[in-house]
Chain A
Amino acid sequence: MASSRVQPKTAGTYVRRVIVIAYLFFLVVWPVSLVVKHTFDGGFGNITTALSDPVVTDALRLTVYVAIWAVVINTVFGIGVSLLLVRYEFPGRSVLSALIDLPLAVSPVVVGLALLLAYGGTNGLFGPFLNSIGFQVAFATPGIILATAFVSLPLVIRELVPTLQEIGTDQEQAARSLGAGPWATFRRITLPSIKWALVYGVVLSLARSLGEFGAVKVISGNIAQQTQTATLVVEQKYQDFEQETAYATSFLLTLIAIAALVVITILRPKDKSDGN
């Protein structure tokens, strides 16, 4: 298959190849490698300094906690909504399918503002009520989880919907006709066949969740050691002229992002990526 797609090499092939590689080198590869270089300018000193700063470690801990919550919520919601969208017929389905993509297109600052208007402690629609039952959302961890879940909401669904359409329902119907209940059918038949798409969506959501900045900045109040996430620490440290710590924290976040991408590239079915 690959041989039928790869064109006979002409001068143009090499020109295009060089343009693309140069473009990506100057826009992505070189800049990213400089952050790695800055981080290790004095050996591992910057990393150890950063990791011994309680502001950084608290932020990293909060970031991981929030990301796990957001990913779990989006995975459960994502599986449910994907099954509903693909397997069932109901009024407004295509509207829901379109609206699911909305978080991808909305500005993070707008997301933060929206959540503030709904869950703000004094002026929000639900905030005062939730506060009165002792549940603070804005400027606290639940708000950060909401913001993170918001921005990464469509990622699992975008992976699952095409896969669910692809596999059809023949096996599920066979299982059902042989007496398997809905849960057994899901666990034994549906889940194994969407497994990789699900892992792919979860890894993407995790990467996105660990890195959210704008929405979290608005809703969290950005209080050091309380509601400050890793990305907010990068901003603060950079502006406080603790650039080494900013670079070291950025390096850790970059490492996670690239690790996620490598996992995804390995998982991606070969026929999608290069046709072999």
Chain B
Amino acid sequence: MTFETPTEPGTARRTRRARSANSLTRSSGLGLGIALTWFSLLVLIPLALIVIQSIDGGWETFRLTLTNPQTVSALRLTVEQSLIVTLINVVMGTLIAWVLVRDDFPGKQLLEVVIDIPFALPTIVAGLVLLSLYGPTSPLGINVANTERSVFLALLFVTLPFIARTVQPVLLELDRDVEEAAASLGASRFVTLRRIILPALAPAIAAGAALSFARGISEYGSLVLLSGNLPNKTEVASVRILTYIENGNEAAAASVAVLLLLVALLAITILQIITSRVARRG
């Protein structure tokens, strides 16, 4: 799994694009039409209906839902834990990418697989997996089940690959000559890190952080078995939405869902801005 920030088609490789870009032919236009129809039916219309539903319920439903203490507490917990986990990922993800690129030891290939496990493992299994080491029967004697820490742990697990995988390709591309030049001009290792390496990695770290945060606030599956979904204690935003759906209150569900949707849009916008800025610089 790589999370290389995809080169945005419009900005990357302008010279080659200038030659390769075609305006639509009749058959490709038809293809675009079919693709857009499918994409609208599957993604755009259903997501737009959430926005419509939340407005439809009226401002009062929206206000009541979002001032409901249980919802407020769920949203606060979700955002808090996602922020903490993203901060940890900024440090650990960068460190993991660093070790994968700059270090070399037997079994390094194995780490490549291990990092992707949280992405490939079904989320419900992820919860079960964490429960077996950090649950009531923990061989370590650490039991986080049904506490706030379980939310933290689950998010830490599912967001593990994001920053590591966005930073890794950038670090691979990074020119060692510049670092060596800085060192030969008398820069200390810390100064080289701060002035040369981190600025080069910053866009990738930011892109990975956006993905990590978006994933964190939207997480559901890994928490089901682990957190116990206790109201006002371990209940996250997604669980709150599900409760509203199960109670048949789709308007309230949509009100909370719209908030999550906004954060998701914000995350991919940040991703897009960073990607096109990097492409322009390159």
Contact = CB atoms under 8 A, between A and B. Distances in A.
Interface of A: 2, 4-7, 13, 16-17, 19-21, 23-24, 26-32, 34-35, 38, 77, 80-81, 83-90, 93-94, 96-119, 123, 125, 146, 149-150, 153, 158, 161-162, 165, 168-169, 182, 204, 207-208, 210-214, 217-218, 230-232, 234-235, 238-239, 246-247, 250, 253-254, 257-258, 260-262, 264-265, 268, 272-275
Interface in B131-159: 132-134, 139, 156-157
B238 A214 contact: yes
Contact of A77 (B38, B215, B221): B38
Q: Identify the interface centre among B27, B31, B39, B122: most chain A CB within 10 Å of its CB.
A: B122
Given A153-B43, A231-B125, A257-B121, A105 B268 contact: yes
Contact of A21 (B6, B111, B156): B111
Interface stretch (B59-67, B69-77, B93-101): B93-101
A21 B1 CA distance: 19
B93 to A, nearest CB: 10
Contact of A35 (B112, B132, B242, B267): B132
Interface of B: 1-2, 4, 6-10, 12-13, 16, 19-24, 27-28, 31-32, 34-36, 38-39, 41-47, 49-50, 53, 92, 95-96, 98-105, 108-109, 111-118, 120-125, 128-130, 132-134, 139, 156-157, 160, 169, 172, 176, 211, 214-215, 217-221, 224-225, 237-239, 241-242, 245, 250, 253-254, 257, 260-261, 263-265, 267-269, 271-272
A257 B156 contact: no
A42 to B, nearest CB: 16
Contact of A109 (B35, B176, B220, B271): B220
Nearest to A204: B1
A235 B128 CA distance: 9
B122 A88 contact: no
Q: Identify the interface centre among B12, B45, B116, B172: most chain A CB within 10 Å of its CB.
A: B116
B249 to A, nearest CB: 11
Contact of A257 (B34, B109, B117, B220): B117
Q: Identify the interface centre among B16, B218, B260: most chain A CB within 10 Å of its CB.
A: B218
Contacts, number: 319
B101 to A, nearest CB: 6
Given A105-B267, A108-B218, A113-B250, A87 B22 contact: yes
Contacts of A86: 9, 20
B121 A110 contact: no
Contact of A214 (B12, B45, B112, B220): B220
B20 A275 contact: no
B46 A115 contact: yes
13 contacts: A5-B172, A31-B130, A32-B121, A87-B20, A89-B23, A102-B43, A107-B264, A108-B238, A114-B47, A117-B53, A204-B120, A211-B125, A214-B221
A257 B122 CA distance: 8
Given A234-B124, A264-B1, A106 B31 contact: no
Contact of A169 (B19, B38, B157, B217): B19
A77 B36 CA distance: 10
A250 B125 contact: yes
Given A6-B104, A161-B6, A98 B269 contact: yes
B272 A98 contact: yes
Given A83-B28, A102-B264, A235-B124, 5 more contacts: A86-B20, A109-B242, A116-B245, A214-B123, A246-B128
A165 B99 CA distance: 29
Contact of A24 (B21, B115, B242, B261): B115
Contacts of B20: 86-87, 168-169
Contacts of B38: 77
A213 B8 CA distance: 31
Nearest to B121: A257
A262 B96 CA distance: 19
Given A93-B10, A275-B101, A260 B114 contact: no
A244 B11 CA distance: 53
A114 B19 contact: no
B12 A165 contact: yes
B150 to A, nearest CB: 13
